[in-house]
Amino acid sequence: MPRTSKPRHMMTCDEMIAASGWFSGTLEDWNALPPAEREKRSYAATGCLVAYPTWELLVNCHHLNCRIRRGEPPRIAETNSILRYERSSGWLRFITDRSKVARIFRPYRKRARETGIYDPWKAGWLGLVLGGIE
């Protein structure tokens, strides 16, 4: 990584991008890239899907999707995380009967394992919404 004599807190974004060394372009060039391309480049350079081109070093981030991509937890962890969120503060927060919550969660987990689509909202959002309304 090339170092300049200027401290990082006094650099512009474009100067920090040039100093980091893994993206050749400006911040406007970075923002013009499609999101999938940005994720691919940032993960390859830093180990984080949401890294900016100003980041210099590899990081050991704790974003769930980054950890799944590194192979730390199984893919079903994404499903469990989203369902847990919906249970605590989303559409399903008003259901008090644990058996009813289990009846909603089981098909999503089963479908995730069968289809490989681990995001319940992509797999079928109707069960989450109607389960919370009933």
Look at residue 67 and tell me if it is in a domain: no
pLDDT for residue 1 is more than 60: no
In this structure, the answer to whether residues 20 and 56 fall within a common structural domain is yes
* 39 and 86 fall within a common domain: no
Residue 41 has pLDDT above 70, yes or no: yes
Q: How many CB atoms are closer than 10 A to CB 31?
A: 9
Is residue 2 one of the residues assigned to a domain?
A: no
- With pLDDT > 70 as the criterion, what percentage of the chain qualifies? 89
Does 54 lie in the same domain as 91?
no
- Per-residue pLDDT at 76: 93
Flag whether pLDDT at 132 surpasses 80. no
* Residue 98, domain extent: 76-133
Do 129 and 84 share a structural domain? Answer: yes
Provide the domain count of the chain. Answer: 2
- Asked whether residue 3 is domain-assigned, the answer is no
